[in-house]
Amino acid sequence: MPERLAEMLLDLWTPLIILWITVLPYIYMAPMAPSQVLPNGSGLGLNVLSEEQRVLNRSKRGWVWNQMFVLEEFSGPEPILVGRLHTDLDPGSKKIKYILSGDGAGTIFQINDITGDIHAIKRLDREEKAEYTLTAQAVDWETNKPLEPPSEFIIKVQDINDNAPEFLNGPYHATVPEMSILGTSVTNVTATDADDPVYGNSAKLVYSILEGQPYFSIEPETAIIKTALPNMDREAKEEYLVVIQAKDMGGHSGGLSGTTTLTVTLTDVNDNPPKFAQSLYHFSVPEDVVLGTAIGRVKANDQDIGENARSSYDIIDGDGTALFEITSDAQAQDGIIRLRKPLDFETKKSYTLKVEAANVHIDPRFSSRGPFKDTATVKIVVEDADEPPVFSSPTYLLEVHENAAINSVIGQVTARDPDVSSSPIRFSIDRHTDLERQFNINAEDGRITLATPLDRETSMWHNITIIATEIRNHSQISRVPVAIKVLDVNDNAPEFASEYEAFLCENGKPGQVIQTVSAIDKDEPKTGHFFLYSLLPEMANNPNFTIKKNEDNSLSILAKHSGFNRQKQEVYLLPIIISDSGNPPLSSTSTLTIRVCGCSSDGVVQSCNVEAYVLPIGLSMGALIAILACIILLLVIVVLFVTLRRHKNEPLIIKDDEDVRENIIRYDDEGGGEEDTEAFDIATLQNPDGINGFLPRKDIKPDLQFMPRQGLAPVPNGVDVDEFINVRLHEADNDPTAPPYDSIQIYGYEGRGSVAGSLSSLESSTSDSDQNFDYLSEWGPRFKRLGELYSVGESDKET
């Protein structure tokens, strides 16, 4: 009741207050007393008089005149009287003129230069300009000379309630979490009023909600919007429109008002658990599906949104937990069931899984609403498919000694058809992995055999691929890698690690290590290499050198004495036997070359050549080589010159008259010797092996191809020898392949049945100077002349 009474009183007094503000400028203000002096010392004063006041002559007290007031937005048929200027110097003789200058002088405000009355000739707006600063001055009417200094005063525009409140930032948007408690702050709004906040209640605002109850409320003075209902559910209604009013004059009647809208959106919180759309899911999958393939999808719906609706899926029970897995799809918010391990229709034909969906982000404020998860059952049926063969092992490792015999069995692979039909299997080797065809496989039982010899030192590992193919369906194949390791046998003898050459100083000391050598063995025994070194049995007591085995499996060669001389012996060869520790052990002999050298006093090798020992001081090895090269060149030139001279002076045909052998024609066919009773039988001079063919000449190699002559037919005994010789001479003269001394004919046939044998020296291993021809005189009278000729020739040579 008191509040209602207060509102009635305010409604009654509001019009009276407005009337008072309107009439206030017309209240009489008494003129300044003559004795009152302005702050600037001027006698200029202000009288604000209305017509009624001048008639009544109502006296009022004096005012400080430097402020005037005018009501805004006042409009009437006549200009508004703002006030009057008056000076004590004005006796009323109309000899004083009033001048007005400053803001709006002449445009907004106008002065009567005789009476000093100031009028507003335009409608004023306080919101545009609240006050005007003007300057007034009294001057002589005739001379315009100032009668007193200028005085400054202010005209203030008085406010009226002519502006409604405005929400400059509207419309507004705000959010508040759903399920918030009562009185939760949502946002605050602000309205502005252009009226004067100091003068009256024109700018005093009061806020209220026109639409939006009963969900929201607002503080009347602070404009803070709060929730008016608790536990508003976003899933029921997400968005609310609130209309807010701001009213001036303190919210009383007659005040102006402005409105705006506020859109309130409820944000989501995790207040709803996930829920599967169905409690049982059915899927089917072929048994030969690839691992990782998606079999099916399950989804739990959640009324929440965003992260609050995000769920994780798990398989919590069932007989296929080891074969299947489920992953969450962040985009679709569902669970994807994938195959984890291979399926086998023949082993198990169906599986049952229990799947759970649970919220990832749980708000503890709403945990009382129950568990934020749900479960469903998934049944998966396995479908039969024609599968490829399955090997008994995913990989095979076989071992074979490198000395294994050809066609020996290395190992075996096995495979089976997992289908119910159980097709037979055929095995083969992928020859791309066995390019050298070192292995074979039995197509029926998978036994792998050796096709070529193996050498571990060449290749220790062989990796091949075995193919298993179903005989009934050749498209069903499987592959398996087979690694074959070649085991070592002792089939390589040790030898020197490199070609060693030792150097021994002439001034070396007994027991000095000349060289340290090591051995290598291509074999690799399990216990490591261990070499035995020894000298040849016949050199076991070598007077010059001895050997010493070192702990690092190397060998040191030591000198037994000093005083080696490279002029006596420059190089020593020391054969060393190297044996390994294999079973059976193998050995080899390597020879170490030891070269005797001249060394300095500190043992640095300087020279290892014998020639260097006898070189004169100051003559280098290069100079010696150059000198020897020049000498050899000169000798070659001399030999060539002498040889050319000898060939040039040597006649082609012997012309010495005293040489009785000049008319002797030598034939390879020597005749029959003492048994030849027909000395002039031409048949004996012919080679029976060459009667029907051509006998090539053996004294030269023809440069031109010459057609063979037709062999002479056998002639009867008694043919003239002279005719035969003439024919042969004619043939020799016309033969382009014959030598220049064409009178000589040589025959390769020596006759048959001769006791003396061949007289030719063509095939003799001895020279003429080594033979003794005295035996020719013992052959009888037929060889007497021949013996004399050869004896003469021997005597000539001795002479």
User: Same domain, yes or no, for 281 and 263?
Assistant: no
- Pick the last residue of a domain from 267, 292, 321: 267
User: Does residue 780 belong to any structural domain of this protein?
Assistant: no
Please indicate, yes or no, if residue 690 is contained in any of the structural domains.
no
Do both 475 and 539 map to the same domain? Answer: no
For 412-451, what is the HEC assignment? ECCEECCCCCCCCEEEEECHHHCCCCCEEECCCCCEEEEC
State how many domains the chain has: 5
* Statement: the pTM of the whole predicted model exceeds 0.75: no
User: In angstroms, what CA-CA distances link 453 with 408, 446, 459, 583?
Assistant: 11, 20, 11, 21
Instruction: Flag residues of the chain having pLDDT under 50.
Output: 1-43, 46-64, 612-617, 654, 656-658, 660-662, 679-680, 684, 689-716, 741-742, 749, 763-766, 799
Structure tokens at 269: 């919180």
Do 438 and 462 form a contact (C-beta atoms < 8 A)? yes
How far apart, in whole angstroms, are the C-alpha atoms of residue 731 and residue 733?
5
CA dihedral 75, 77, 83, 88 (to 10 degrees): 170
Both 407 and 422 in one domain: the answer is yes
| Strand bridging mode 324-329 / 294-298 | unpaired
* E strand spans, 360-505: 373-383, 390-391, 396-401, 409-412, 415-416, 425-429, 439-441, 447-450, 461-470, 477-487, 495-496, 501-505
Find, among 137, 243, 227, the residue nearest to 182 by Cα: 227
Is residue 102 assigned to a domain? yes
Cα 256 to chain centroid distance, Å, stands at 75
- Note the pLDDT tens digit of each residue in 764-774: 444 555 567 77
- Letter string b/e over residues 359-374, b meaning 16 or more CB atoms within 10 A of that residue's CB: beeebeeeeeeeebbb
Domain containing residue 451: 390-487
DSSP SS3 for 51: helix
Predicted local distance difference test score (pLDDT) of residue 745: 54
53 domain-assigned: no
DSSP letter for 191, please: -
**Within this chain, do residues 152 and 213 fall inside the same structural domain, yes or no?**
no
Quote the CA–CA distance of 334 and 236 in Å, as a whole number: 24
Q: Is residue 378 part of a domain?
A: yes
258 and 191 fall within a common domain: yes
pLDDT at 434: 92
Q: Which CATH number is 530's domain given?
A: 2.60.40.60
Q: Is residue 655 part of a domain?
A: no
178 lies in the same domain as 245: yes
Considering the domain architecture, whether residues 507 and 563 belong to the same structural domain is answered as yes
Last residue of a domain, one of 487, 512, 540: 487
Candidates 122, 124, 98; CA nearest to 111 is: 98
Do 146 and 187 fall within a single domain?
A: no
- How far apart CA 637 and CA 633 sit, in angstroms, is 6
- Are 299 and 346 in contact by the 8 Å Cβ rule? The answer is no
- Indicate whether 312 and 363 sit together in one domain: yes
- The whole-angstrom separation of Cα 249 and Cα 16 is 14
SS3 632: helix
What is the Cβ-side half-sphere exposure of residue 523, based on CA atoms within 13 angstroms?
28
Torsions phi, psi for 298 (to 5 deg)? -125, 150
Domain membership of residue 1 (yes or no) is: no
> Do 170 and 253 belong to one domain?
yes
Domain boundary residue, one of 367, 383, 399: 383
pLDDT given for residue 526 in this prediction: 73
228 and 300 within one domain: no
CA dist., res. 408 & res. 454, Å (int) = 12
Same domain, 192 and 245: yes
The pLDDT value given to residue 663: 53
